[in-house]
Each structure stands twice: as C-alpha cells, then as structure tokens.
Amino acid sequence: MKRTYLSSMVTLALVVLSGPAAAHGDEDHSSDAKKAPTAAVTGAAISDGPQRLADGSLFLPKPVQRRLGIRTVQVRSAELAASIELSGTVIADPETSGRVQAPFSGSVLPGPKGMPVAGREVAKGEILVYLRPVASAIERGNQKAQLAELEAQLAIADGRVRRFEQLEGAIPQKEIEAAKIERAALRQRRGFVAASIDSAEPLRAPAAGVVSASHHLLAGQIVDARETLFEIVDPARLAVEALAYDAAIATSLQSASALAGETALELKFIGGGRQLREQALPLLFRVATRDAPVAVGQPVKVIVRTTRGIKGEAVPRQALTKGGAGETAVWVHVEAERFVARRVRIQSLDAANVAVIEGLHDGDRVVTEGASLLSQVR
C-alpha cells in the first residue's frame, strides 16, 4: 500500500512540473529567472520616489516635482551684452549726507533733545550738541586778563562819550562819532573774549537724515579739534563707489546693477573720476532701488553692462548650483521625469541674470526654481 501511495505522489508531481512547460509551447525560459528579479527591483525603486540613477542623472516623478515647486524655462542662444564685475562699496550720497566735526578742542554738552544716538532722525540746522571750549590754566588766565583790560578800556570809552555828549556843539561832531565807534568796537571785543571763556558753541546738523554714527560720545567728553562727532546719512539716498581697472569702462557703460549678498540693487551711473586711485578709476553710482536693505560701508559686487557683445544663453542666477568638485552647474530637464546636471561656464549679465557661454544648447529646458533641492537628492 505504501508503494502505491508513493507512485501516486510522483505521478502528481510530474504532472505539476510539466504543466507550465506545455502551456508555453516548448519555449526556452532559462533567462527569465535572471531577468524577473532585476525588473522587479528596478520597478520598486522607481516607484518609491526621487533617486540618483547610475549615469548621474536624476529621476523625479511628476508628483514630487509639483511638491518641490520645480519650474523650468527654455533658453535660447542670442547675442547678449557683455558685462564686467567690479568690487564696490556702499557710501553715503555726497549730495544729501553730512559730517559734524569739532571746530576746536572742547567739552561736549547735550543739545536740546539730549545726546544724539545712532538711528535718530534729525532736521537740517537742528542743534545736536554744544561744544564748550577747554584751555589750560595759563591760557584761561591770559584770556581773563585780556577781558579785564577790555572792560577797563570800555569804561574809559563810555566816560569819554558821555563827556562829549555834554559838550555837544563845542566839540566837532566827528570826534563824538569816533568816540562812539571806538566804544562799540570795544564792546564787541569784550563779548568775543567772554564767549571764548565760558559760553558753549552750538553744533548743527548740516543735512537732514539719520545719525548713522555717533562715535560713542558722552556728555562731558573732551574732544580734539577736527574730530568727527556725527555722521548723517539719508537712507533713501545711498550711493555705490566701484573701482575700474580699465578706464574704457566708463565710456562703454550701458547700465549697472549690484549684488549685495542675495539682494539685487538697481544702480544709476553718475560719473567717473579722471584720476587713478590705487591704480584704478573710481566710478560713482546712485542706488535706484527704494528702501534697499544695505548699509554704508557694505561691500557689494557691481555688474556693469557694456556695449560689447557675447553669444550665449541667459538664465537666472538662482538656476546656478555647485557640483561635487565645486564647479558651476545647472539642471536640465531632458525627459518628463529625468534631470541632468551640466557643468557650465558663465559670465554676469546683471544682478539677477548670467550668460551661459559654454555647456548649454539652444532649446534646453533649464530648472530656474528648485535647483538647490535637486542637488540634495542622493
């Protein structure tokens, strides 16, 4: 009975094994066992989400592209205006700024509104502080002696004028007038000398704006002559000074812009000097961007557009990324769900755009938004 049972099991196993082979018509499927697992693994990986493929390109499903906010633009080769990058610095506009300096050595006293601090708005002609002159004991003694001498001379002059007035008619009129003129001159001299001893001179704002620097002044502080006390800047009127090492730039300049960190500034060319400074020609620009978030003394990159032309594709600066070796690259949308990073050589156009002069082709779709996110996919 056991032999009959084993025979039945073997027969059933043969039927099961031979069934699929007969159903496919004697075809050779020896390679299917190798292909099927690979296809299954690849399909599972692609369906999971974005990934870096073996050739370095990037697979990014459409739903992920929408979530990341990926935007592209089709670039076209064209003749573009060549630009030159210059190093610049934000400065106060010479037409609307001012500086308060000490005309003599003295002690600083608060003005009517107290001691000015950085950021306070002031009006033109407003009294900022008072400056009381300081002198040594010998100088003060000489001044007081001179004041005493002038007071004595003034007393004599007053008595002479009174006597001449009582004798009016007996004394020529010209002598009376000369005595009065001498008395008036002595009064003025006495006033000037007295003011130099005790009175304080008001220091006024030469321009309207904001106190940008107060140099940590305190009430009662002693300052030297010509020492800078305050600097006043109009924040709505700032300028940029750039140094050009090619004197021909000023004649071929069409427009200019500046880049302060990630902030783009529109500039208006005012003029350039005709004398070299540190082997460079200073160029002056006015910041045309309203409420620009920059400060006096901040370094900026000035991009000057010239009349010379270059051939390339214009792309926004935000499309640029850095490759693994630090080279500049852009992401190109080559297929519906595939992106490729291409190394490019660029030249600045303005603060917001660059010209790709090597690495792209006419009609390529370049990622302009979300390029930094694509670089993070591993």
The band of 375, judged by pLDDT with boundaries at 50, 70 and 90, is confident
* Residue ranges of domains in the chain: 67-92+235-375, 98-233
CA nearest neighbour of 108 among 207, 228, 232, 231: 228
Instruction: Report pLDDT for 42.
Output: 41
Q: What separation in angstroms does the CA of 135 have from each of 8, 105, 106, 148, 218? A: 129, 8, 8, 18, 20
The band of 310, judged by pLDDT with boundaries at 50, 70 and 90, is confident
Q: In whole angstroms, give the CA distance from residue 265 to residue 291.
A: 10
- Average pLDDT on 126-153 reads 85
Q: Which residues of 169-195 are buried (b: 16+ CB within 10 A; e: fewer)?
A: eeeeeeebeebeebbeebeebbeebee
Range of weakest confidence among 57-61, 104-108, 282-286, 374-378? 374-378
3-state secondary structure at position 165 = helix
Instruction: Report pLDDT for 35.
Output: 36
Instruction: Report pLDDT for 273.
Output: 80
CA angle 148, 154, 159 (to 5 degrees): 135
Range of weakest confidence among 54-58, 89-93, 115-119? 54-58
Instruction: Report pLDDT for 48.
Output: 60
The CATH number for 67-92+235-375, chosen from 3.40.50.12780, 3.40.50.2300, 2.40.420.20, 3.80.10.10, is 2.40.420.20
> Could you tell me if 235 and 159 are in contact, meaning their C-beta atoms sit under 8 angstroms apart?
no
C-beta neighbour count of 39 within 10 angstroms: 9
Q: Which amino acid is at 252?
A: S
Instruction: Report pLDDT for 199.
Output: 78
Range of weakest confidence among 118-122, 178-182, 348-352? 348-352
In tens, the pLDDT along 188-219 reads 988 888 877 777 889 999 999 999 887 788 99
In tens, the pLDDT along 122-139 reads 999 999 999 988 877 777
What percent of the chain stands above pLDDT 70?
87
Q: In whole angstroms, give the CA distance from residue 183 to residue 178.
A: 9
Highest average pLDDT, of 23-32, 130-139, 313-322, comes from 313-322
In tens, the pLDDT along 72-112 reads 999 998 888 888 889 999 999 989 999 999 998 899 999 99
Task: Write down the CATH number for the domain with range 98-233.
Answer: 2.40.50.100
The rounded radius of gyration (Å) of the Cα atoms in the chain is: 43
Burial of 344 (0-12, 13-18, 19+ CB in 10 A): buried
- Average pLDDT on 360-378 reads 88
- Average pLDDT on 276-303 reads 90
Instruction: Report pLDDT for 11.
Output: 39
User: Quick check: 23 pLDDT over 60?
Assistant: no
Instruction: Report pLDDT for 75.
Output: 92
Q: In whole angstroms, give the CA distance from residue 66 to residue 246.
A: 47
Instruction: Report pLDDT for 329.
Output: 92
> Could you tell me if 367 and 374 are in contact, meaning their C-beta atoms sit under 8 angstroms apart?
yes
Range of weakest confidence among 238-242, 249-253, 313-317, 333-337? 249-253
Q: Which residue has the higher pLDDT, 353 or 88?
A: 88
Instruction: Report pLDDT for 26.
Output: 40
* Chain mean pLDDT for the chain: 82
3-state secondary structure at position 319 = helix
What percent of the chain stands above pLDDT 90?
36
Residue 13: enclosing H or E segment and its boundaries? helix 2-23
Q: In whole angstroms, give the CA distance from residue 134 to residue 102.
A: 12
